[in-house]
Amino acid sequence: MTRQLVVDLLASESEREEVLVKGWVRTRRDSKTFFFLEINDGSSLKSLQIVVNEGVPGYDESKGITTGAAVSVKGRLVASQGKGQSWEVQAVELQLIGAADDSFPLQKKRHSNEYLREIAHLRPRTNLFGAVFRIRSKLAFAIHRFFQDRKFFYVHTPIVTASDCEGAGELFRVTTLDTENPPRGEDGKIDYSQDFFGKSTYLTVSGQLEGETYATALGNIYTFGPTFRAENSHTSRHASEFWMVEPEMAFCDLQEDMTLAEDFVKSVIAEVMESCSADLELFFNFVDKELKQRLEFVVSRPFKRLPYTEAIELLQSSGKTFEHPVQWGVNLQSEHERYLTEEHFKCPVTVYDYPKTLKPFYMRANDDGKTVAAMDVLVPGIGEIVGGSQREERLELLLENMKQHGISEDDYWWYVDLRRYGSVPHAGFGLGFERLLMFVTGVTNIRDVIPFPRVPGHAEF
């Protein structure tokens, strides 16, 4: 007999004479001649009630069936007499697959998220984290559907790279050299020419530069993969390993780039609201009471666009005292971004045309000589969720930017070649997948939307 999923049995339109369900016990309640099991197989937020009467094969051996145990149940799907459920299974055969001893840490009580991070291998069995990671799966699928429906090609960019896209210098080095006795040159410095790849290599911070090479051949592409930042940051919004979505479009300017970013955010949120409605109810009811209204607002309303200069002027005239001073030429901080989205405009905001001193070498210079064609999409509750730009397609200006940023043309010869051979205007953006998931669920700590978070000082599991 083929196993049925709990989610399908709960959605059944009629009784079924024979079903086979397997899962993990959430609770057990005993009576004199029968007992109830609530079992969940991960396919849905709701569990399925099993009624096991005395005399059913497996009944006498059922003492080991406690919270956390894995079981197999054959039986009949019938209308439930209990409240809050349409169907239950009357067991005709019960089998213990895997016992859970008394030390099982997820007993029927409320556990803090901080505690559950310590048992990240078990936390997906809780209602909250089961819902988080089902939504994560659906959100990833929605992202692929969005780009595939628009005839973008999915490109796999390298995880090991010799280029630093952001120029941050906070990279994880990849090496096979003997760390206790590395080879050294005449100057006493480590000789990375003897390393595995014959040069210094790192875990990628972005697939953008490599993505541009494919956009200038295939037209519209996107990458979606893991990225790494060696920042010693302990905030609730930063992780050392996270996933990035990065589309890149040939023959595209900043205005078209902003339009795609806004359409993207709206589309994937709308799809998840439809496909994950049962799981999202948990977050609407128990995590953030205003979440549903906020998501509906983002999906249904246009985004506000304003230049960085106007954003600075607005913040300076707000009469509000910020922890970080506001002045032209400095980055917007989270408190500034949230003021714009949550208090002033009360909607997502796309800020564009940032000072060139704040941005990497590849962003296109504007005619004013002070700003570049860069943009950030800011959303309520999170702040920046998308960062993008039109790329500098003019060879002379790109070379000048690289010189000003201290970047060697020899190291990026292949990137410069794109401007020599059929250069075109092109643009793209990056979106932190986990930050989008935080926005969709209302979860406030990035450690709670990644299966196994990697943050400074922590690489368990």
Q: Are 381 and 338 in contact (CB under 8 A)?
A: yes
348-396: pLDDT as tens digits: 999 999 999 999 999 999 999 999 999 999 988 888 999 999 999 999 9
Q: Are 222 and 246 in contact (CB under 8 A)?
A: yes
Eight-class DSSP state of 416? H
Q: How far is CA 352 from CA 84, 376, 394, in A?
A: 50, 6, 20
Closest CA to 3 of 62, 73, 78: 73
Burial of 343 (0-12, 13-18, 19+ CB in 10 A): exposed
Measure CA 136 to chain center: 7
59-105: pLDDT as tens digits: 998 988 999 999 999 999 999 987 778 999 999 999 999 999 999 99
Residue 339 pLDDT? 95
221-237: average pLDDT: 93
CA distance 379 to 237: 14
Q: How far is CA 138 from CA 23, 121, 143, 278, in A?
A: 22, 21, 9, 13
135-146: pLDDT as tens digits: 999 999 999 999
384 Ramachandran zone, left/alpha/beta (phi>0; psi -120 to 50): beta
CA distance 266 to 261: 9
Strands 383-390 and 371-379, by their bridges, are antiparallel
**Residue 215, helix vs strand vs coil:** helix
155-179: pLDDT as tens digits: 999 999 987 665 555 899 999 999 9
244-297: pLDDT as tens digits: 999 999 999 999 999 999 999 999 999 999 999 999 999 999 999 999 999 998
Residue 82 pLDDT? 77
Residue 355 pLDDT? 98
Residue 167 pLDDT? 54
- Name the strand (E) or helix (H) holding 300: helix 291-300
Is pLDDT at 12 greater than 80 in this prediction? yes
Residue for token digits 């200006």?
397
Backbone angles phi, psi at 200, to 5 degrees: -70, 130
- Rounded to two decimals, the pTM is 0.94
Residue 184 pLDDT? 96
- Which residues contact residue 188 at a Cβ distance below 8 angstroms, ignoring those fewer than 6 apart? none
End-to-end Cα spacing for the chain: 35
Other Cβ atoms less than 10 A from the Cβ of 240: the count is 21
Is pLDDT at 448 greater than 80 in this prediction? yes
* Average pLDDT value for the chain: 95
- Which residues contact residue 134 at a Cβ distance below 8 angstroms, ignoring those fewer than 6 apart? 42, 45, 276, 279
